Amino acid sequence: MVAAGEHVRAVGWLHPDHPFSTGPVPIAFLSRLKLFVSMSGESAKALFFGGFGGFHTCEFCGRAHGSANFGVPADSLLYVAPEMIVHYIEQHDYQPPDQFVNAVMRSPLPDSEEYQLITEPFWHIHKGAINRIIRERDAADKK
C-alpha cells in the first residue's frame, strides 16, 4: 500500500486478536462517514491510491464484505480507512479515535473541488511512491 508514512494514520482495520475502543459515536458523524464510504472511488482517485489488497470479509461475524478504502485529510495528516468501518461501528460497537471523528466532520467530501485541492499534496506523495515501486520492479526485472 503506498498510502503509508508519517503523514498517514490508519483507522478502522480491526481483527479479533487485537483490542479496539468501543462505545457510541455521534449520529451526525456516522451519517457523514457513510457519505465518505459511498464516495470511496472519488477519494481513491483524488489520492492516487491505485489498487489495494483485494476483497475482505469481517473476521468477527463473516456477514460483511468490502474492498474499498478512502482518505480523510486533516491538515498535514491523512486518515485512511476501509469501507467496512461503518459495519464495525454499527455491528461491533467500534469507536474510532476522536481525531478521526473530528477530521470526518471537518473535511470536505471527496466529490468536491475543495477535497481535490487539499488532498493534492498527498496525491503527489502517493504518485511518487508508486513510481518508485515501478522503477524498482523494472530494475529487478532487468537483472
Question: How many domains are contained in the chain?
Answer: 1
Q: What is the Cα–Cα distance from 127 to 131, expressed in whole angstroms?
A: 6
What pLDDT, on a 0 to 100 scale, did the predictor assign at position 129? 67
Residue 136 lies in a domain: yes
Could you list the residue range(s) of the whole structural domain that residue 55 is in? 8-142
Q: How far apart are CA 115 and CA 110, in angstroms?
A: 5
**pTM to 2 decimals?**
0.85
DSSP SS3 for 115? helix
For residue 2, tell me if it sits in a domain. no
Q: What is the pLDDT of residue 51?
A: 59
Average pLDDT over residues 50-60: 78
Residue 43 has pLDDT above 80, yes or no: yes
* pLDDT for the residue 136: 78
